[in-house]
Amino acid sequence: MALISYAQAACQALAAAMRADPRVLALGEDVGRGGIFGQYKGLQQEFGAARIIDTPISEATIMGAAVGMALTGLRPVVEMRVADFALCAIDEIVNQAAKNRYMFGGQGRVPLVARLPIGIWSASAAQHSQSLEAWFAHIPGLVVVAPATPADNHALLAAAIACDDPVIYMEHKELWALQGEPPAPDPAVLGKARVVRAGADLTLVTWSKLVHTAVEAAGRAAQHGIAVEVIDLRTIWPWDRDLVLDSAARTGRLLVAHEAVQAGGFGAEIAATVAEELGIPVRRVGAPRIPVGYARTLEDVARISAERLLEELTTFVQRDAQRRPAA
């Protein structure tokens, strides 16, 4: 079976949506030449410059134009290059796209997809390496998606384009070349997580690139007799409460891990929900509250490695087992 890259999967999903619906278009910087990660490669040649639209270097202008397009019936896919740059368009996202449906009683809808690549981008420093998913999950009216695999980047992007509300679509900057199985023919269901690895001793919830780190750590933990259940959240908002709660109720422990800064991260929402609903031990793993450094030694301080995850989950299980009364 031929493999497909993360970037190719997204490109194919967008192409299929554009062929099926003339209202779908894309706009942003460098999309005509294929995008900086190749995620639009060949699309302008197929669909023309009127549907794969190169724009000036002004994120506020790009997003403002997309909101207007969506309100008039189009379904724009908006390229922000990296999530860090989208901060220049925060008013258009938060005060216009997210709130329009509510403020006008459903008369207006903003079915746009804003592609905001997240995560540490090697040797790209503090202004190109942020994970800001918690910011957007906090805003009523926004759907927030974070695909971890090529198959999901196809299925979730198709679902995002079909969604009638604004979607913040957060691909990881270091996953574009990742090879994986071809996508299933049907789009995914937004708000549905998946169990990547089954286990009985601890539930580990994560998303985006860290899913692969979590699977590696879980494999190492198995050598120490700890069976970790790894859940890929896939959609940050809405998130799959039922799947997470069911898993955590079975394992009796929850660890949430994300590349974003731990302070105020979305992991806190998941941990608090599980603690309130189940009363079981919970822990979080996230980056320290520091800018990502340019030097590799500084950058590594902000990364969540498999070694760190393994240490955290092993310590968690061992200490919790010691606290529990003997049977």
DSSP conformation class of 172: B
Give the residue from 110, 43, 46, 35 showing the smallest Cα distance to 72: 110
The catalytic residue among 128, 172, 212, 258 is: 128
Q: Can you tell me whether residue 115 is helix, strand or coil?
A: strand
Angle at 62 between CA 59 and CA 66, to 5 degrees: 140
Measured CA to CA, the distance from residue 270 to residue 82 in angstroms comes to 25
Whether 128 is a known active-site residue: answer: yes
Contact between residue 305 and residue 276 where contact means Cβ atoms under 8 Å apart = no
The two structure tokens encoding residue 72 = 């008039």
Three-state SS sequence of 184-229: CCCCCCCCCCEEEECCCCEEEEECCCHHHHHHHHHHHHHCCCCCEE
The two structure tokens encoding residue 20 = 């099926």
Positions annotated as catalytic residues are 128
